[in-house]
Amino acid sequence: MKENIIPHNFSVSQNERSDLKEQKPMLLWFTGLSGSGKSTLADALERALFQRNMHTYLLDGDNVRGGLNNNLTFSPEDRTENIRRIAEVANLMLDAGLIVLASFISPYRENREMVKRIVGYKNFIEVYVNTPIEICESRDVKGLYAKARAGEIKNFTGVDAPYEPPMAADIEIDTSQISVEDAVSLILKEIDDRVK
């Protein structure tokens, strides 16, 4: 079947799309436990980029699982497929010249490495939201930790499923120690350094 798939080469290139938008496409990948502040940071960063007239799109775990990946469970195999699909979507968005923000627990190093391979290492900024689990659990904004502790949710990261922290994230943020505004400033500096 795959031998019959022949990609078409279109005349408008990624560089032309990027030049039109006057920006460098990149993927900012927010990883960390549920409740760590990934989505809050990604949302605030997107607002800051939007105010700079940058063209962005934010992909978020629950939003993607409610649509594109609604047929996947939280088994290790389905978690891998979830991240693979997200990486492929992000890669298409990079080809469109966008700055993509992706907020996903993405607990396995191997899966995050797969994302880097798909989108290209030079296009990838890893933001490790390293908020202690005690803080994440005390927030429990969605009530998921309580359900996991009660045995109502299986394979919940940090409770009965592992989280493998990045070995060398580009940026590491503990949202219990730094404000959202200061965290966004740190990430913006990394972005600015990448486009020089």
Whose CA is closest to 96, among 121, 123, 74, 77? 123
| Identified catalytic residue from 106, 138, 179, 185 | 106
Does residue 31 sit in helix, strand or coil?
A: strand
b/e per residue 49-67 (b: at least 16 CB within 10 A): beeeebbbebbbbeebbee
Rg of the chain (C-alpha set) = 17
Specify whether 106 is catalytic. yes
The 8-class DSSP code of residue 161 comes to B
Per-residue tokens: 187: 């990430």
Residue with the two structure tokens 């904004």: 141
Catalytic residues, by residue number, are 106
